[in-house]
A and B are shown apart, each in its own frame.
Chain A
């Protein structure tokens, strides 16, 4: 283990990572969010969705640095006296949870179908890839919007809808790798001596396809968080009881004209930061893992 760590710290990957300002800031942003989300509930001033902890006396407080700011509510409060920072911490948790859950599910399902399509080829392959092609020709946002419109809002439904539009990315990548691998000589050799090449392909394809999958998955987390925020903004995403960052922006927008600009601006800043951090990381990984760019 120690040796492996040592080798990692001396690798070109690590070297480039440390020297890339973008990658390091991306990692810092993502770590910041992870810490905030995991430890957040322990230090936020209030549980924003525990009605008992809200006090209407605290309503309409501006951020700390403005006139009338209250040190207890760093980013101000909304019209019900809810602390915006606490709401953002809880909202980030929901956004990140959806992002990670959708990516994991999409990755597993997409990889499974990609393996099936690539290995069996023929009819199964052409049907699966037709589905993938047709789906990719429609914008993911619209398909998800349609599914959510039909089934109604809800955290679980949202995750299912975003997975339905997300798995195709993985399926296509994995299928491509299987096709490359399937034509290699060792697979012929396995067939020749009567072995089923499927386990071998899995053993060779999965490690090979891991790097592109990591890149796709990283960027996909950002995309999912943005799509989720958009759907929630439109009122077809998360339920009102579990507001993600996107829904916070919408709630804030409803009171924007009564002067509470902060309650729509700050949640948006956090969405942007989180997605930007993820994209910085994804960008670095893609450049690093794409040998053609070197």
Chain B
């Protein structure tokens, strides 16, 4: 077990190293950051001076080793726009994104589990067909457009829910969260539902397919031959077997929720790190983009790691080696 953990942790660092190289290279070969920070009226001499000040005159590998050294010390550069450390900017906005993603996960699971299990267990019932039609529509919806429709209907037309911002936040362990206050909760509903839709639809389809796959396996037939009732067949035999592969995909889905949070946050002006990324892309605020990518990459690697561990815990067949 320990050996396996160490091996996986080593792999995590290799992946993060590769990501840092790719991010650094792509960022170095595109655009000239010097032009972003000097005033438009700067002379050539001033530009050259800024270049030296930023260390951009040195060879690439040297620039990278400086970058990597800073990275390891937690220094991801200073935002051109905000004139503050990029890492601080991201970390400040992280709770907003995480609460949005977390609520979306809850919504997706709460809807997808019962719908998916039902559709898989009774594939021919009219309700199952409706669920499947709905979920196919769900994976075909552009989430930004759904967000716009929500804003238009619930905020503009009906005035039921706020359409932008995070509202009043409450403190939990010194960290501000919106869901702690009624106003903040009203603000999070629309973005969370918008963000959840795609994942929810996808999970329904996955869970249904898994249930159907498991239900036609031999051991289910054998359990039927034992006289096991239909419901216990479904819940005590099929469900766990069906959900084991879902765990893997679920990890990927959490990553994808973090990615799509950029879109949702932009639409609903939700002050999370996704909106910060899109704003930084539009203003070419390179240190923030790089910081975001490195932090999100670290999050994904960590999620995959956790998923692997969970997987080994729920499936006795997986051998830790």
Instruction: Mark A residues whose CB is within 8 Å of B.
Output: 22, 134, 136-139, 141-142, 145-147, 149-152, 222, 226, 229-230, 233-236, 246, 249-250, 253, 256-257, 261, 264-265, 268, 271-272, 275-276, 278-280, 283, 292-293
Contacts and interface: CB of A to CB of B under 8 A. Distances in A.
A249 B297 CA distance: 30
A146 B277 CA distance: 10
A276 B136 CA distance: 7
A275 B146 CA distance: 14
B212 A293 contact: yes
A141 B267 CA distance: 16
A230 B18 contact: no
A256 B152 contact: yes
24 contacts: A22-B136, A134-B15, A134-B18, A137-B301, A138-B255, A139-B255, A139-B256, A142-B255, A145-B262, A145-B281, A226-B142, A229-B145, A230-B263, A253-B267, A261-B152, A264-B145, A265-B149, A268-B145, A272-B140, A272-B142, A276-B137, A279-B136, A279-B140, A280-B136
A283 B136 CA distance: 9
A187 B173 CA distance: 64
Nearest to B304: A137
Given A146-B293, A249-B145, 13 more contacts: A136-B252, A137-B300, A139-B252, A141-B259, A150-B26, A234-B263, A249-B148, A256-B148, A256-B152, A268-B142, A268-B148, A275-B142, A276-B140
A149 B297 CA distance: 16
Interface string B125-167: 0000000010011011111110011011000100000000000
B27 A230 contact: no
B140 A222 contact: yes
Contacts of A271: 142, 145
Nearest to B289: A149
B30 A150 contact: yes
Given A139-B255, A257-B156, A276-B137, A150 B144 contact: no
Contact of B26 (A147, A226, A257, A293): A147
A147 to B, nearest CB: 7
Nearest to A294: B216
Nearest to B284: A149
B145 A272 contact: yes
For chain B, the bracket of interface size reads 35 or more
A250 B27 CA distance: 27
A279 B139 contact: yes
B80 to A, nearest CB: 14
Contact of B149 (A139, A145, A236, A268): A268
Interface in B259-277: 259-260, 262-263, 266-267, 277
A215 to B, nearest CB: 13
B32 interface: no
Contacts of A149: 281, 289
Contacts of B18: 134
A235 B282 contact: yes
A276 B139 CA distance: 8
A230 B261 CA distance: 12
Contacts of B315: none
A282 to B, nearest CB: 9
A280 to B, nearest CB: 7
B56 interface: no
Contacts of A234: 262-263, 266, 278, 281
Nearest to B296: A142
A116 B106 CA distance: 42
Contacts of B143: 230
A145 B280 CA distance: 12
B7 to A, nearest CB: 14
A138 B300 contact: yes
Contacts of A152: 30-31
B259 A139 contact: yes
Nearest to B278: A234
A253 B292 CA distance: 27
A141 B274 CA distance: 13
Interface string B171-187: 00000000000000000
B213 interface: yes
B302 to A, nearest CB: 11
A138 B30 contact: no
A233 B23 CA distance: 23
Contacts of B141: 272, 275
Interface string B102-126: 0000000000000000000000000
A271 to B, nearest CB: 5
